[in-house]
Structure 1
Amino acid sequence: MARPRGFDVDEVLSAVMELFWRQGYEATSVQDLCAATGLGKGSLYAAFGSKQELYGQALRHYVKLTTHDLQAQLLRSVPLRQAVRDLLLDRIEQSLSAPERPGCLLVSAVVERVPHDQGAARIARDAIEALKGAFATALHTARAAGEISTDADVDSLAGYLTAMVQALRVMSISVPDEKQLTAIVDTALSVIPE
């Protein structure tokens, strides 16, 4: 009979996620992971596998949390433009309020890991599609309610808004100016047809 784990998996994944987010994959050592989680190397490997496998699980954990948050923001009972604006401004606020966690873990994964890590590439691709799907659902709902034009190209708009989320995360690193970033959001909203 297997012994029950003496730790909460979600807590460990959250600690690992934060560490990879702050330091990146390459700069994070197994010793760093042990210190962040309070687990020994053997326990860490037994529970999660290799460093690469642990990174994949932490990235999935991040995607699950952020996707759930994003969907909840888009499904609120407010007009579409307000929901999208609030969501984009929230992403800016998150980025600017935590400079020790630059940008977005997903964006970091795309830049650092995707070129040579098929697992990270698959997670990133699925996350981007889920984000695009959430925007498409919100846009279809808004179109059916008469908030946007019936001839609006929902797929293109969903792709554009998905790109805006990622672009704002990157921009918040290089241009940490809330006023400029807010102006970008307001310009981006102008592409949603009346």
Structure 2
Amino acid sequence: MNIGTSKAERTRNFIIEKTAELFNRKGYAGTSMSDITEATGLTKGSIYGNFENKEEVALAVFEYNRSLVFNTVQAQLEKAATYYEKLMVYGRVYKDVIATVGNRGGCPILNTAVEADDTNVPLRLSAAKAIFSWKKSLVDIIQKGTEAGEFQKDIDAEEMAVSIIALIEGGVMISKVTNDYGNMDHVLATVQLLVNRIRA
């Protein structure tokens, strides 16, 4: 137990952890306060004592679920010795990442983006922020790799970053809807092909 964590923070974290998979599987609209109280074993009063409303719980849960994916990828990026290897992380480990989050209801960014596109602006903005952050990370890797002489000079880093994200998220969507995660093999092979094509 973290001594610096207050009881209120511990309760908030408990609620987030206990409802993370629930929200990821059922979505914001499909998750009721009764679902939240059942998952946590807490009363509605306890939930509302820590969160203003269901939306605030959903936003905190989205960030928690997003960080699970981010931390898994980040751990692999830190092991990669070159910018090329860092970029190839997305073409290699994402199947493992998707297998992990798939057991928890799928990719939180994709789930949230699809559900909240027109119905919940704060959740949509959170998903957009996650995509922008992911894109920035990829652009940084590509630009630094170009400066280091690992990638070709005329590469449009932003275009490449968006293409990688679109392939991966599209692969997740197809895999989930068809219940065939073998589809990710084809998608990730294409990601690797793109990365190999820009090598100097």
Q: TM-score, normalised by structure 2?
A: 0.82
In 2, Cα distance between the equivalents of 1:157 and 1:41? 46
What is the letter of the counterpart of residue 76 of structure 2? Q
Match of residue 16 from structure 1: 19
Partner of 1:137: 140
Distance (whole Å) between structure 1 residues aligned to residue 38 and residue 9 of structure 2: 16
Query: What residue is the counterpart of 1:30 in the other structure?
Result: 33
CA distance in 2, matches of 1:118, 1:110: 10
Give the Å deviation of 1:96.
3.6
The RMSD of aligned alpha carbons is 2.5
8 Å CA contact 1:89, 1:185 repeated in 2? yes
- 1:1-150 to 2 correspondences below 5 Å: 4-5=7-8, 7-96=10-99, 99-150=102-153
Which residue, out of 142, 155, 166, partners 1:152? 155
Q: Is the 8 A contact 2:83 2:141 kept in 1?
A: yes
- Picking from 168, 173, 177, the partner of 2:171 is 168
Structure 2 unaligned regions, length at least 5: 1-5
Q: Kindly state the Cα deviation for residue 188 of structure 1 after the two structures are TM-superposed.
A: 2.4
Is the 1:102–1:173 contact (alpha carbons within 8 Å) kept by the matching residues of 2? Answer: no
Which structure dedicates a bigger proportion of its chain to helix? Answer: 2
Residues 169, 98 of structure 1: alpha-carbon distance in 2 compared, 3 angstrom cutoff: same
TM-score, normalisation: structure 1: 0.84
CA distance in 2 between counterparts of 1:178 and 1:84 reads: 21
- Report if aligned partners of 2:91, 2:192 keep a CA contact under 8 Å in 1: no
Q: CA deviation at 1:112?
A: 1.2
The one-character-per-residue Cα deviations of 1:70-92 (angstroms, maximum 9, x if unpaired) are: 34433433344443443344332
Distance 1:155 1:43, change over 3 A: same
Identity %: 23
Deviation at 1:4, TM superposition (A): 4.3
Aligned 8 A contact 1:95 1:172 in 2 = no
Shift of 1:162: 1.9
Change (3 A) 1:75 1:165: farther
C-alpha contact 1:74 1:83 (8 A) present in aligned 2: yes
Bigger CA drift: 14-23 or 100-109? 100-109
Residue 151 of structure 1 deviates from its aligned partner by 1.4
For these two proteins, the number of residue pairs brought into alignment is: 192
Do the aligned partners of residues 179 and 112 (structure 1) sit closer, same or farther apart at CA in structure 2, a change above 3 Å counting?
Answer: closer
Residues 178 and 81 (structure 1), Cα distance of their counterparts in 2 relative to 1, 3 Å cut? farther
Structure 1 unmatched ranges of 5 or more: none
SS at match of 1:74: helix
Deviation at 1:179, TM superposition (A): 4.2
